Amino acid sequence: MHLNDNSELDTSGELTRLRERVAILEREIVAVRSQPLWESLEHSPIPVWTTRDEHIVFANRAASNLIGADSPGALVGRSVFDFVAPEYHELVRWRSRQELELGRETPVVEEQMMTVDGRRVDVQVTTFRFLYEGRHARHVSFIDITERKRSERRLLEMSERFRELADNVREVFSIFDCKRRRILYVSPGYELIWQRSCESLHQQPDSWMDALHPDDEARVRKSVESLGMFTDEYRILRPSGETRWIRARTFPIRGADGELLRTVGFWEDITEWKRLEQQLVQSQKMDAVGRLAGGIAHDFNNLLTVINGYATMLGEHPDLPPAMKGDLHSIRRAGDRAASLTAQLLAFSRKQLLQPKIIDLSGTVLEVEPILRRLIREDVELKTVLPAHPVCVKADPTQIEQVLLNLVINARDAIQGTGTITIETGKVEFDAESARLHGDCGPGHYAMIAVSDTGRGMSTHTQDRIFEPFFTTKGLGKGTGLGLATVYGIVKQSGGTIWVYSEEGIGSVFKVYLPLTGNLERVEQVSQPAAVSGGNATILIVEDEEQVRNIASAVLKARGYVVLEASNGEEALAPAIPHPPRIDLLVTDVIMPKMGGPELALRLAAGNPDMRVLFISGYTENAVIHTGMLEPGLHHLAKPFTPDALARKVSEVLAPHTMKADGSGRSSLL
């Protein structure tokens, strides 16, 4: 009982103290309401309450509406911490100590209030400290800034997204204040492209133009000074001296009165795009020139066949005066030189016939090295750097030797005085990026043959044209301009690509990349040319060039053959032409109007199962010789040909050793 009595006494004392506290608050409320300010605060649209010891002793209708209370009276007596977001409690205590205990004014602050239903409201808080009957009290006013804070957060989120986007793209985005002539913003892409700091652009807004290429500077500055909309492509020079291509677009932003306020700029590095564009244009130009060169060479071969053929036949005439033999010899020499030039044109245009086989590039270099050493001067050193392992490709060995000869001669002519030419072979592997940088080859394994020199080097303009036929930097009469064009054609026709790097005053390097292949094939013994002999075989000559047909007919008739002639395939099959019981050999051009040689051969084979076929052509693009490659089993004679070459080839085709393995004696085409 004793303990219970004490407990009752303690409870009674606590109730007494609580009643006293309530009485004090009631008196303070009455005191506050007695102030002249009360009436105006009661009806103020701004939420306001008054506090003592962090308890609310007065609140107006606007404050209860803000908190979501039923009435201002529902707030009176409540602790302010019931309506302040927890993370702001310490801020409220600090502000109270500053004002009430230390007498310091506190600034306007922003915090969050908690409504009756648990919502958060962003508010701007202003406090006013005053004395009432010698004790401190505080008026606290609130401005609802929830919508403003929501907009700020959205704006901040958008700003962060914009900055994240701008910071992670290679293009440059900039905003220029036209009135104050200063950069408001420039994205980090500026440092990647210009390789200059963004800070330097903020300090000097026009400093980006200091990097303009001299050839583009005047035009670009004029466009920029207009402060209007423009799109342009120009070059800049990085601090390292590297040239980059830029595509720029600028858009003006004007006020309601039309006054220019800002310009927004987008800068894009299009160097790679420009390189590909120039590569495409160069490829198209080379292809067009190649088609022209191939067509000219084809027609010229027919003329050379006639010129050289009649010159040869005339030279063999028994009644030829001795004085004319020298003239005919000169004609033949000129014809041979013309034939050599035509062959180079065909190589450039990728129309010549190749006979590929698997070869070791290093072995080819060693075989041709003695010839190369005789071609260069004594003051030019020739070095070879060859790996111990084979570097195998499938190519025509004669054409690869031609590539080496032309590249070494070009290197020799580029060296003035003493110098060095280096020939290297090796294997390389290209990924997608490396392949793109080395021309039009795809990713994969390649064999490389490189010829470098310590000569005078080439300008960019010269490098853009070096593979064009008849383009030369040599003096008059010192070059035809077909050497590198021939190299280009052979490499392309062999399925490879060629890459050039040069610096003026330092030298040049030409790198040829050909698809790498497997092991070396067994080297077959080269058969001796068949003896030229005549016979009583029947030969059908089908050739659309009358003069070529005439010279071929005359040559074969002189060897004792029975010769029939037709100008095209349809004529050869026409009933008007008397056909003997059999045709032993069809000599036909590959490409002819109305019907080509391959189709003619197939149709004639139906009635002549043992007929053999000899194709004659300067070049071809059809199914008989795919991409210029001579298929095994087909007999071919390239134009221009000499009478002796024609007679020898006919004899070879008709000889028994040309029979197929199945004994049919027919070409693999048939």
Q: What is the pLDDT of residues 244-303, one digit of tens each?
A: 888 888 888 888 887 888 888 888 888 887 776 766 665 555 565 555 555 566 666 676
Question: Tell me, what's the pLDDT at 122?
Answer: 93
Q: List Cα–Cα distances, 637 to 298, 303, 557, 590, 615, in angstroms.
A: 14, 16, 18, 11, 6
Element counts in the chain: helices (H) and strands (E)? 19, 22
Range ranked top by mean pLDDT from 20-24, 36-40, 350-354, 401-405: 401-405
* Residue predicted with more confidence, 340 or 176: 176
Name the band, by pLDDT with cuts 50, 70 and 90, for residue 1: very low
* Inter-residue contact 511 to 450 (CB < 8 Å): yes
> How much is the average pLDDT of 162-176?
72
* Residue predicted with more confidence, 267 or 670: 267
Name the band, by pLDDT with cuts 50, 70 and 90, for residue 86: very high
Q: Report the distance separating Cα 80 and Cα 56, nearest Å.
A: 6
> How much is the average pLDDT of 323-329?
72
Question: Tell me, what's the pLDDT at 281?
Answer: 62
Taken in order 360, 484, 445, 628, the sign of the CA dihedral is negative
Q: Report the distance separating Cα 480 and Cα 475, nearest Å.
A: 10
pLDDT over 70 (residue 469):
no
* Residue percentage of the chain with pLDDT more than 90: 12
pLDDT over 90 (residue 137):
no
Q: What are phi and psi of 27, to 5 degrees?
A: -65, -40
Q: Report the distance separating Cα 504 and Cα 499, nearest Å.
A: 17
Q: 249-263, 319-333, 591-605: which has the minimum mean pLDDT?
A: 319-333
Question: Tell me, what's the pLDDT at 162?
Answer: 67
pLDDT over 50 (residue 538):
yes
Q: What are phi and psi of 607, to 5 degrees?
A: -100, -5
Q: Is 168 left (phi over 0), alpha (psi -120 to 50) or beta?
A: alpha
pLDDT over 60 (residue 42):
yes
Question: Tell me, what's the pLDDT at 292?
Answer: 56
pLDDT over 50 (residue 625):
no
What residue ranges in 228-304 does DSSP mark as E strands?
A: 230-237, 243-254, 260-269
Question: Tell me, what's the pLDDT at 339?
Answer: 65
Question: Tell me, what's the pLDDT at 351?
Answer: 46
* Inter-residue contact 369 to 424 (CB < 8 Å): no
> How much is the average pLDDT of 4-22?
57
Range ranked top by mean pLDDT from 27-41, 148-162, 513-527, 632-646: 148-162
Nearest to 509 by CA among 594, 407, 633: 407
pLDDT over 60 (residue 670):
no
Question: Tell me, what's the pLDDT at 282?
Answer: 59
Q: 28-32, 198-202, 291-295: which has the minimum mean pLDDT?
A: 28-32
DSSP-assigned beta bridge partners for residue 615: 588, 636
pLDDT in tens, 478-489: 445 556 777 887
Question: Tell me, what's the pLDDT at 373?
Answer: 85
Question: Tell me, what's the pLDDT at 379?
Answer: 87
pLDDT in tens, 223-236: 777 766 778 888 88
Q: Report the distance separating Cα 299 and Cα 222, nearest Å.
A: 54
Average pLDDT, the chain: 76
Please state the pTM of the whole predicted model: 0.39
Residues 6 or more apart whose CB falls under 8 angstroms from that of 123 comprise: 47, 66, 110, 111, 112, 113, 142, 143, 144, 145, 146
> How much is the average pLDDT of 432-458?
79
Nearest to 465 by CA among 286, 291, 617: 286
Name the band, by pLDDT with cuts 50, 70 and 90, for residue 607: confident
Give Rg (Cα) of the chain: 48
* Residue predicted with more confidence, 176 or 294: 176
pLDDT over 80 (residue 656):
no
